[in-house]
Structure 1
Amino acid sequence: MSQDNNYSQGPVPLAARKGVISLTFVMLGLTFFSASMWTGGTLGTGLSYNDFFLAVLFGNLLLGIYTAFLGYIGSKTGLSTHLLARYSFGIKGSWHPSFLLGGTQVGWFGVGVAMFAIPVSKATGLDTNMLIMVSGLLMTVTIFFGISALTILSAIAVPAIAILGSYSVWLAVNDVGGLDHLRAIVPETPLNFSTALALVVGSFISAGTLTADFVRFGRSAKGAVLVALIAFFLGNSLMFIFGAAGAAAVGQADISDVMIAQGLLIPAIVVLGLNIWTTNDNALYASGLGFANITGLSSRTLSVVNGIIGTLTALWLYNNFVGWLTFLSAAIPPIGGVIIADYLMNHRRYAADFSKVHFLTVNWVAILAVAIGIAAGNYLPGIVPVNAVLGGVVSYMLFNPLVNRKFVKLPEVGHAE
């Protein structure tokens, strides 16, 4: 299969690897997303001051550990999530996670486009559909240039969002009497703590499962772990704090809405646009890699096609946002769990030349493990996404060795089939 500059069919060569700083900007560009602010607003109005920080920090620590595992594997091998899935799911078996992950990222792209267009339309009076088409097209054009465009865009967006957002929240908190006032607020409708943790982890575990797609460009596995922890533990926590502070101060969770309420219209549009642009381009990039694994086509071309689809369906996706999140919270995590479990059990196999590795056509144990993980997330008590990951890990570790021993002559195929 032909290789493209996104390395969708093989490992990233050492000459194309990047340092920790540039990858940190890319990953922070991913986690700086308005949806996390929305969830932060929900937590901020449903939890006490101390419980809010406990839920956010503990939940994002769990998310950071999960993504750090995947980041380590990605950097160690130089492979995308979808190529890593071939080891555990098989050649054609990997199409299942690629379709699910790629499809959800197209959905997130569409949601993001609408999340930009709708508030800007309300604030300026411009037509929503026109804004959706223009912003979706611009976001799609930049992804054509791959990881380099993501790096440049994130290097601009991340500092701008952090500085303007922090200033806006500082103004908002001071307007309502400072931190002492926020500490004294008692939630009118208290939120269960385990539910809060599920919201924190579930809000970004879909994109987190694709961590390897980005940090496979890292020069060292230790650096990839650091990047994942910074992005998901620190970066995502900052978005939750922005959302909670805004919700408490002016009744709006999204930092752009807070800034509009403060009369900062132009900075609000800039922050909202950059916030969503970086995350959306990461989503398109990952979706292209997923469908490239299935079709063998250029991931760059597929990313552009996915951007067009996401733009055209943006309003529908936006209107079904809550149901979408609920589905993702249990359906995605077991995939990452299976990939992690296979690497822990068979890490020496990953050190071989990828072009010479042989894979099963379909490993049904991996598919079963995902199904068990989904069931564990839905039916076991505790934190839904965490149960789903652990369900996938444990069931794969238990059943895969048994099946492999029983069917040692199961036919295998080369990676190029």
Structure 2
Amino acid sequence: MSAASPARDADPAAGSPVPGEVIDPDYPVTPVPTHARKGFFSLMVVLLGFTVFTPTMLAGASLGKAFGLRDLLVVIALGSLVLGAYVAVLGWIGARTGLTTVVMARYTLGTRGSKLASILLGGTQIGWYGVVIGTIGDLTAQAFGWEGFAARAGVMVVVSALMCATAVYGYRGMYWVSLISTPLILILAFWVMFRSLEEVGGWAGLAAVHPDATMTTAVAVTAVVGTFVSAGTQAPNWTRFGRTGRQAVLACVVGFLIGNGLMIFFGAIGAITFGEGDFVLVLFQLGLVGWGLFLLFGNLWKSNADAAYSFGVAGAELFERPSKTRFVIIGSVIGTALALLGVNEHLPQYLGLLGTFIPPLGGIIIGDYLARWRRTQMPEGEALPKVNWVLLGVYAGSCALAWLAGEFGIGIPPVIGIVAALVLSVACARLSPRRGA
């Protein structure tokens, strides 16, 4: 029985419905059925809306100050290729199985071991949700010259409610928000890019700019990969709606290789020409406050709705409930509270550290799927072990390697973690229990 078909005797640990509880049309803990699958265009719109994310420009800003145009393009291409390949494979598995990342973790780490994945992925997304809410409040206050806390807090609460409602509405809500806002945001971003080029005398002038900072290629590629490798690990949350694995792969390539790469490039150009990587602040500098706020709200609304959706499905898996709604609301309240308390200003470095421990999770899911589940597609209702200690050990060891690589400046830490997890999970496949006792 394939993962996309209904189970006849579903395991309660797999999130069977509780009597009287409404079934979520987004299927957060069960495979997406055939009738609910989407086409390539729909997947592409949602994933582009996920990755066209203005804070990514800040990573591009650091690269723009350290590389000339030719080397900059090479670094962005290499990093985006690595990121796109990793996410595309995960996206392919998501479409083949119809499952979210955290539910796939049940087959890899066991029904209890997967709770680690839900806490890690859901918790980091709540944190980033709070960071974005706080950023919106601060930039809006900066645009209007507000000094008091009340107006800033009001903006945070209102925009959080909009993002929460979009996530509760599910895949359809994120599709329509992305379909409307992403093209407009990209048009505005390209306009700012051409306006920036005018400042330096076109492409020839940009190529003639000499960098005033230094950065190794390995560090630069790590920065590109790191922009979305943690969030990209949750790409199956959306690609599971794809009708075919091929469509999911192409959508991931468009979103993570092209979309994310463009945002990094935009940030680099902004830093070179205006000394500011974030196009929102560039528009403020140009006196276009209204357009800056449009770019801010339109962009972060859809991206943060994706974050809310992710911690919603993680909560559904963690507490084994068939609906994500209550967890989207609870997580949004927690994230907004963090922003109101000002904790968001101190979270990014901590959340970045946690990013070291997320990519290896994707690596073991890929490796374990290829070694043990490719033929059966993670069948629903499978009697799974509570904890797969073998792969839990592989995960811990891969995280340690990624962390040590970062501490000693060796290679690209996220990639090291992914590759180590993938190779070791394949090597240890025969030691992993397929079924529970």
TM range (shorter): over 0.9
1:122 correspondence with 2:142: yes
Could you say which residue in structure 2 is the equivalent of 1:140? 164
SS in 1 for 2:30: coil
* 2:346 paired with 1:343: no
How has the CA–CA distance of structure 1 residues 242 and 340 changed in structure 2, closer, same or farther, with 3 Å as cutoff? same
Partner of 1:244: 268
2:20 corresponds in structure 1 to none
Tell me if structure 2 keeps the 8 A contact 1:203–1:329.
Answer: no
Question: Could you list the per-position Cα deviations for residues 191-250 of structure 1 after superposition, in whole angstroms to 9, with x for gaps in the alignment?
Answer: 111111111111111110001000100111100000001100000011011111111111
Matched, 1:391 2:417: no
Does the CA-based 8 Å contact 1:143-1:304 persist in structure 2?
Answer: no
Please state how far the C-alpha of 1:282 moved relative to its aligned partner: 0.6
Match of 1:319 in 2: 345
Number of the residue aligned with 1:255: 279
- Partner residue in 1 for 2:250: 226
The partner residue of 2:222 within 192, 198, 202 is 198
CA contact (8 A) 2:168 2:324 kept: no
1:74 deviates by: 0.5
Residue 108 of structure 1: aligned partner:
128
- Unaligned segments of structure 1, at least 5 residues: none
CA distance in 2, matches of 1:57, 1:341: 25
TM-score after normalising by structure 2: 0.90
Deviates more, 1:272-281 or 1:137-146: 137-146
Contact 1:202–1:325 (CA under 8 A) maintained in structure 2: no
Q: In the superposition, relative to structure 1, how do residues 322 and 189 fare at CA in structure 2: closer, same or farther (>3 Å)?
A: farther
| CA-atom RMSD in angstroms | 1.7
Specify the code of the residue in structure 1 equivalent to 2:114: S
Superposed displacement of residue 305, structure 1: 1.2
Residue type at the aligned position of 2:353: F
State how far apart, in whole Å, the 2-side matches of 1:235 and 1:352 are: 31
Give the aligned partner of residue 299 of structure 1.
324
Q: What do residues 105-164 of structure 1 show as CA deviations (whole Å, max 9, x unaligned)?
A: 111111111222211210112432222222212211221111110000000111011001
Residue type at the aligned position of 2:414: P
5 Å-filtered alignment, 1:72-221, equals 72-126=92-146, 127-221=151-245
State the distance in 2 between where 1:321 and 1:200 align.
Answer: 20
Residue type of the partner of 1:386? V
Is 1:310 the counterpart of 2:330? The answer is: no
- Decide whether the 8 Å contact of 1:202 with 1:328 is kept in 2: no
Write 1 or 2 for the structure with the bigger share of helix.
Answer: 1
Query: 1 CA distance for matches of 2:243 and 2:71?
Result: 38
Letter of the aligned partner of 2:418 in structure 1?
V
Please, which runs of 5 or more residues in structure 2 have no aligned partner?
A: 1-15, 18-22
CA distance in 1, matches of 2:297, 2:285: 17
| 2:113–2:386 contact (8 Å) kept in structure 1 | yes
- Report the alpha carbon displacement of residue 103 of structure 1 after superposing the two structures with TM: 0.7
- Per the normalisation by structure 1, the TM-score is 0.94
3-state SS of paired residue (2:384): strand
**Bigger mean CA offset, 121-130 vs 83-92:** 121-130
Structure 1 residue 352: deviation in Å? 6.0
| Corresponding residue pairs, total | 407
* CA distance 1:291–1:343, shift in 2 (3 Å): same
